[in-house]
Each structure stands twice: as C-alpha cells, then as structure tokens.
Amino acid sequence: MIELREATVVVDSPTGPVTLLEPTTLALGEHRIGVIGANGSGKSTLARLLNGLALPAAGRVLVDGLDVDSDGREVRRRVGFVFTHPDAQLVMPTPLEDVTLSLRRSVPDKAERKRRAREVLDAIGLSDRADVPVHSLSGGQKQLLALAGVLATEPEVVVADEPTTLLDLRNTRSVADRLFGLRQQLVLVTHDLDLARRCDRVLVVDAARVVFDGPADDAVAHYRALADADV
Ligand SMILES: Nc1ncnc2c1ncn2[C@@H]1O[C@H](COP(=O)(O)OP(=O)(O)OP(=O)(O)O)[C@@H](O)[C@H]1O
C-alpha cells in the first residue's frame, strides 16, 4: 500500500520556490490506478513521488510503511518505474544483456542470471529478439523491454509514466495488455482515456492538485469538463 500524507513537492527556480504538487493525502490500494490531467498539471511529479524519484519537501510518502526519504533503496526495490522514453532505461547493447543487468543485485550467479533473463524476455514475448541490437527494436518492443527490465527485479508495484505516448495503436495495445495483465499493482499516468477507463480508480490532476479521485468514467467526465472550461 502506498500512502501520501500531506506530501508536497517544491523545486527551486531562479524566481524562487515553485510548488509542483500541493499537499496531497492519498492511500493507494486498488490493483490499477490511473492518473490523468493536462500537460504540466503535475502527473509525473505525483508518479515520481511514489518511488522516491522525487522527494516530498513536506509531508510523507510511505510504501508498505517504509518512508521514501529514509528507506529509499527498499522503496525503489518495491516500486518499479517505467519511463515514457524507453531509451532512458535501456543501457546495454542487447535485450538479454539489459535484463541481465537488472538482475545483478538479486541473482549473484552469472549463469543463473542469464537463464532468468531469458525467462523474463520469454514471458514478455521478446525471446526471439534477445540477442539483437537494442537499437534495432521497434518502439513498442523497446517499451516492452524496459518493462521486462523493471519486472525482472520483481517489484510489488509498477508505476508507468505515459508508457504508450510514443507508440502506435498496435504497440499501445501490446504494452497496455502487458501492463493490465500484471499481478502487481499498477499506477498508470496516461493521456489515453481508453486506458484510463480500464483502471479501478482514476485520479485527475490539475494545477498541482488532485482535483478528482474516483471511478474511471466519472474521472474522465471530470477531466473533459475541466478541458471544456479552459476553452
Ligand atoms: N525541476 C523542475 N523545475 C521547475 N519546474 C518543473 C520541474 N519539473 C517539472 N516542472 C514543472 O512542473 C509542472 C508539472 O510537471 P509534470 O511533469 O509533473 O507534469 P505532467 O502533468 O506530467 O505533464 P505532461 O502531461 O506534459 O507530461 C510543469 O509545469 C513543469 O514544467
């Protein structure tokens, strides 16, 4: 369970401190939680708080009772993060080497690590691409590989920040189907309202606040009304 208690994100800027997230209190227990809202509203900031990529300036963020501030390493082990751009995550020349690298902490034996990496690639549908150059993969395959690298570490929660934004319809479907097929809790930041509708609970973020929190259809209606009010 992830809990935010009056968590606030503030950054310094040349003109003084800027609040990226107003004090926010949430308990995130549902299997699939969507986060929607306009560009620049604070969705990524909220997502990054959940695994300590952003730290609260005030308030607390707890993952299974562990504080992101003081137990950052353990929190990051429990909460995996998938970025919009898979290239931000893929550092090795081939998929097999990349997933093997993700396993370096959890699997000490080298041969066993490779075997497990092949299993992970197989499970995500990339076993036939295991040894090709990463740069030759399609955008969808790269995003699946980034997800495989995260899943290899066996997190309890997967936070994905607009993981399908760069993908075409077919790749969006395949990445989304993997994400929604996970046994792990999923927190999905997305501009794709069809994906948001598949979530059990959806947060709408606007101007650095969570302005709606509830069932997906109601959240999408709320977001549409906000957009209409802006025109
Ligand atoms: N380090 C920073 N310093 C100053 N402002 C920042 C910083 N990081 C983010 N911001 C600003 O905070 C606001 C919220 O950013 P965030 O990335 O959380 O938005 P978002 O809702 O995820 O947007 P998008 O849908 O465009 O990805 C934006 O106006 C952004 O420019």
Which pLDDT tens digit goes with each residue over 47-56?
999 999 999 9
**Protein residue closest via CA to atom 28 of ligand 1:** 40
The stretches of the chain forming alpha helices (DSSP H) are 43-49, 72-78, 95-102, 110-123, 139-152, 169-180, 193-197, 216-230
Q: Which of 169, 165, 125 is nearest to 147 (CA)?
A: 125
DSSP characters over 32-54: EEEEEE-TTSSHHHHHHHTTTSS
pLDDT in tens, 81-121: 999 999 888 999 999 999 999 998 888 899 999 999 999 99
Give the 3-state secondary structure of residue 127: helix
Is residue 63 left, alpha or beta, with left meaning phi > 0 and alpha meaning psi from -120 to 50? beta
Q: Which atom of ligand 1 is nearest to the CA of 20?
A: 12
Which of the listed CATH numbers 3.30.9.10, 1.10.150.20, 3.40.50.300, 3.40.1550.20 matches domain 2-88+156-230? Answer: 3.40.50.300
Q: What is the pLDDT of residues 123-165, one digit of tens each?
A: 888 999 999 999 999 888 998 999 999 988 889 999 999 999 8
Domain boundaries defined on the chain: 2-88+156-230
pLDDT-derived band at 228 (thresholds 50, 70, 90) equals: confident
In this structure, the residues whose C-beta lies within 6 A of any atom of ligand 1 are 11, 13, 18, 20, 37, 39-45
Q: What is the CA(44)–ligand 1 centre distance, in A?
A: 7
User: Over the stretch 21-50, which tens digit does the pLDDT of each residue have?
Assistant: 999 999 999 999 999 999 999 999 999 999
β-bridge partners, 8 = 58
39: CB partners within 8 A, 6+ apart: none
Tokens of 78: 């429990």
ipTM of the complex: 0.94
**Closest CA to ligand 1's atom 2:** 11
pLDDT at 17 > cutoff 90: yes
